[in-house]
Structures are given as structure tokens and as C-alpha cells.
A and B are shown apart, each in its own frame.
Chain A
Amino acid sequence: MKKAVNRKLRGLSLQVLTYSEIKELSIVERVKKILSLVLGNKIVLLHGRLRPEEEARLIEDTMAMVDHIKDFKGIELAVIEPDLRKEGMLTKVKYGIARRLVGDSSALTVIGPASIIKEIKRDPKKIELLLG
């Protein structure tokens, strides 16, 4: 079992995608770029977050691929962002201005192949393989 897990994680890498890299792309192109990386067994770290419509499109296109690509089970998607609910008005305004100027760069979106994330969840120590 352990060998199988190691085999599954081999060749996996993290790919950082900066906001400027996708800024000029259309929804379709953004989703295509992200999915092509995920299908290449990469965990994508996107600086910023997708708009809700883009997240929906990402799910739609992912499902279309699950149906057509062998062993592809889908994606795991998580957005890590600062919780501004308890922050003061000044901080909220500061984030608002920054968001308008350079996009939502305070967030980090993590998108990865579901089967790989499942293996990592099953045995978190395997993440060392990725970083080693």
C-alpha cells in the first residue's frame, strides 16, 4: 500500500501562478490553463482568487474532463484569505483599494488533482515527498 502511495505522488510538483500571468486571460483561457497544470499532476498555487463565475466554470470543465480522461477524478479547490470580519474599517478600505488596483492578491487559491490530495490527506507525511 505504501509503495502504491509513493508511486502516485512521484512526479507531483507545486506550480505558482501569479495574478499577472492570468490577468489578461479570458475565463475560458484561465480555466484551461489551470486545468492543464492540474492534469499534469501539479498542485496550483494561484496568487489571488477566481471570481465565482470562474469557479463555476472550473467545476463544469473539470466534470467534463472526469468523464473523458481515464483516472482523473476531479479537483480539490481551497481559497485561503485573510478574515476581515473582525478588522477595522481602515484595514477593510486598504484591502478594497488594493483589490481594485492589483486584483484580489490577498488570497491564495490552491487547486490540485483530487486523487493526489486524497492520498496526502490519508497520510500527510507524504507531503514531505513533494517538498524534499
Chain B
Amino acid sequence: MLKVIKSFSRKILQALFGRKDNIRLGFYGPPNAGKTSLANRICKDWTGEEIGAVSKIPHETRHVQFKEKVEIKYKGKKLTFKLVDTPGIATKIDYEDFLRYGLRKNVAKKRAKEATQGIIDSIKWLDDMDAVIVVLDSAENPYSQVNITIMGNMAARKIPVLIVGNKIDLRKADVKKIESTFPEYEVIGISARDGTNMDEFYEALFRLTKKI
């Protein structure tokens, strides 16, 4: 309830003074889609620092990570964001899946325990977002129940969303498949790893903020 009141009063202030300052921009999606890689790319572009570590092992991000006052400039305009990088959302966590990556059993179990709490935190943070970037792996099938649940929750909360199809540098990448799965949303294909299409991403991000 308190969150709703805070969010409402913030929107009133924004409407009165016309300022969108420190926009809370969330990075959501399934595990290993590249949420932290994208957040890192943005942070490095505009602050010179990274937000968190990345890994091939799923659930590397197990705590919500922040970067305050990230000032992004595009075509003479300037916006300040608070980047909120969230753990990947999943319906199941099995420590045995981590063993395949060479983790020891006790390390894998600890990782699984932290990952479950991370998912709970990701969902709780949804109510605090002004806008959200949903990051999907464009080489994976976008039609998964987790993705549908994520998008459904954004729509139910009326949060403006931009879908990013990451990893377009991969041979199997198919951004059109994401577009046809979620036709009502804007989709931008990028590679957070090598920075491909980041200009188009920033342009889309500024368009997204107009919906707040």
C-alpha cells in the first residue's frame, strides 16, 4: 500500500513539474539472457563503471543491483536513470543444474538458495519500476511461460516496456521471432557483448520514457 502511495505521489510531482529525474529503469527477463551485460554496457558507456559480474552459469545475478544517477545523453536531450538490474526469473531452481558447470555441490546448493531469494526480490521490485527493459536471448525460443508471465505482469501494472533481443551476434539469433511473439511491443535487437545496435537502443529508450 505504501509503495502505491509513493508511486502515485511521485507521478503527481512529475506531472506538476514536468521532470523525469532519476527514472527507475528495471532490467527483467529469464536467467542468462544478458540483463547484467546490457546494464554493464550502459553503465560503461555513461559512467565508466560496471554494475555487476557476468557469467555463463545461470543465476550469476542473485541480488538486485543498482546504479544511481546514470546520465544518458541522446541527440541533445539528457535523462538521468537509476538502473535496477534484477536476478533472472524462473519457476524452478535445481542445484544439480549448476554441477554441470563444474561447481562443487556445496557451492551449487548455496547458489540455488540465493537464486530462489533473488527471484522473490525481482518480483517484489516490479512495483517500484517507472519503466522496464525486458531482456531476452534472441537465440532462444521467446514463447516460454516465464516470458509470458513477465510481460503479463508489466501490462497488468501498466509499466512501459521495451523488449531487447540480446545476443544478435549468435548465428541462431532470430529477433523477428520475438517480434511475432510479442507484436504489441517494440523490440530492439542488440549485442550487449560487442555493442551492436546500441544507438538504436538509446533512441528506443528515450521513446520509452515518453510513456512514463
Contacts and interface: CB of A to CB of B under 8 A. Distances in A.
A73 B117 CA distance: 13
B90 interface: yes
A76 B126 contact: no
Interface in B95-143: 112-113, 116-117, 119-120, 123-124, 126
Nearest to B116: A63
Given A73-B94, A77-B145, A56 B120 contact: no
B156 A74 contact: no
Contacts of B148: 79
B149 interface: yes
Contacts of B123: 56, 59-60
A29 interface: no
Contacts, number: 65
A123 to B, nearest CB: 17
B149 A56 contact: yes
A52 interface: yes
Is the interface on chain A under 10, 10 to 19, 20 to 34, or 35 or more residues?
20 to 34
A53 interface: yes
A110 B153 CA distance: 19
A55 B152 contact: yes
Contacts of B119: 59-60, 63
B57 interface: no
A46 to B, nearest CB: 13
Interface of B: 89-94, 112-113, 116-117, 119-120, 123-124, 126, 145, 148-149, 152-153, 155-156
